[in-house]
Amino acid sequence: MSRSIVALALALAPLAQAQTYLPLEAGKRWTYRQSEEVRTAGAQSSQQGSATLEVLKATQVDGQPAFVLGWRGEEGRAVVSADADRIVVHRSTDERILLPANFADPEQGAKRVEAGTLRVEAYTVGAVERVETPAGAFDAVPVSAAVKSPATTVQVKVYYARGVGPVKFEERIEAPGTSITRTLVLDAPAREPGSTLAPAEEPLEVEEPLEVEEPDEPRAVEEPVSRAPVDLAQLVGAGANADLAPLVRNVEALRTAAEKASGQSVSGTVPDGALLAKGPQGLIVTDDLHHTRITTSTLTVTGSLSHCLVVCSGDVQISGEASHCVIIAGGSVSLAGDMHHTLLVSKGSISAMSELHHCTVVSQGDLSFMGEVHHSTFEVGALSGLGNAHHTVVLNGAALPGRANRAAKAAPALRAVLPLK
């Protein structure tokens, strides 16, 4: 479930006196039918699922009533309160774009909102539309917004029906080489408190914001084997005769430097495997690859990569999962699937649409992530996220908000340990 949808669902829901656009009462929940379509160069995939939005419990903020909302099975929580025409988000456990909305006076809420490197470019309250869902047909008011980060644009539209709540969500994510379209429609009438049709999860406490730690002092790192920029085009052009040994040594030097600077374990051991040399024609993989070393000018993967070394002089697009890999790219990288225990080094921007676990990402470009991030290390240009980050270290940059995240310094920078030409 995308965090940008969650944020806008909470922040754009105005209330009326008798029947509100988002009825708030502890125990209330809405269940949605979800569809997702992912398009990359030469490939397309889709999947179906469900999602449940819940009012977890009542609380108070400065003596006034408020409520804790969240999506079932996800960690993010928000504390909200509302009057007749607006909603206020007092705090949340992850970085979110929060838009004010006033259905009685829509122009009052139509203003730019910024949070970190995310920027709301447009905000519109539309006219009432008839919306068909599995739960029935509703007269709903659409609220739309465009959210931009350095490498990603997100278009979101939420339809609110008075007395019912959000009945439909539409989201389109555009990143280099990848587009994702998600739609959620109300699958059953909103469940009132006390319903036994689906057991409610135990409400989680909303964490207080953590203080951002000051960056650590630079730590000494071992002198890397070679500081000469790695010429990826030359390696790819050499085909089956490519000598990957110097690159492998520099990967190990980068891994050592990252561990010393971040203070946590860093994945990135180069796996053994047969060499698949595709040269300038590029490579499209529609199946799964395991224990393979790949050199290519461009790479598109609709399957999954496991225990692979990827050396690509151009762009990399992965729709499936990547685990226990080392990926070196001279262009941009787009990840639509989850990435686990992987070292990713890129000259271009990186867009991660799903989850990152125990990953190290080093880039001269920007990184934007949409899903959960856990126990990872980043050294990138601009960094933006609509998802939760936990136990994540940002080297030579500002710490991310969230649980046990921090910043540290690496000297020299990791980009200098494995420079790309």
pLDDT > 90? residue 312: yes
Q: What is the pLDDT of residue 114?
A: 45
Residue 10 neighbours by CB under 8 Å, 6+ apart: 69, 78, 80, 87, 89, 96, 98
pLDDT in tens, 229-248: 889 999 999 988 888 888 88
Q: What is the CA radius of gyration of the chain?
A: 23
Using pLDDT thresholds of 50, 70 and 90, give the confidence band for residue 121.
low
User: What average pLDDT does the segment 14-20 reach?
Assistant: 50
309 pLDDT above the threshold of 90: yes
Whether the predicted pLDDT of 156 surpasses 90: no
Is 50 exceeded by the pLDDT of residue 158?
yes
Query: Which residue bears the tokens 């390696």?
Result: 235
pLDDT reading at 219 higher than 90: no
pLDDT, mean of residues 342-357: 89
pLDDT at 72: 82
Residue 363's nearest CA partner among 340, 391, 323, 330 is 330
Q: What is the dihedral of CA 418, 294, 303, 177, to 10 degrees?
A: 60
Model confidence at 218: pLDDT above 60 = no
pTM of the model: 0.60
Which tens digits make up the pLDDT trace of 193-212? 765 444 334 443 444 443 43
**Displacement of CA 64 from its chain's centroid (Å):** 33
- Assign residue 299 a region (left: φ > 0; alpha: ψ between -120 and 50; beta: otherwise): beta
Distance CA 185, CA 135 (A): 8
Beta strands in 105-193, from DSSP E residues, in sequence order? 114-115, 118-125, 129-133, 136-148, 153-161, 165-175, 178-186
Q: Which of 264, 20, 285 is nearest to 163 (CA)?
A: 20
Mean pLDDT across the chain: 77
The answer on pLDDT for 134 being more than 90 is yes
According to the model, what pLDDT value does residue 39 have?
77
pLDDT digits 0-9 by tens, 60-102: 988 888 888 887 877 667 777 777 676 666 775 544 444 446 6
| The predicted structure's pLDDT at residue 43 | 66
Residue 19 predicted with pLDDT over 50:
yes
Measured between alpha carbons, how far is residue 53 from residues 105, 134, 245, 402 in Å?
Answer: 27, 16, 51, 21
More confident residue, 17 or 24: 24
pLDDT for the residue numbered 139: 94
Highest mean pLDDT among 97-106, 132-141, 181-190: 132-141
Q: Is the pLDDT of residue 16 over 70?
A: no
Confidence band of 220 (pLDDT split at 50, 70, 90): very low
Neighbours of 406 (CB within 10 A): 18
- The greatest distance separating any two alpha carbons of the chain, rounded to the nearest whole angstrom, comes to 74
pLDDT at site 190: 65
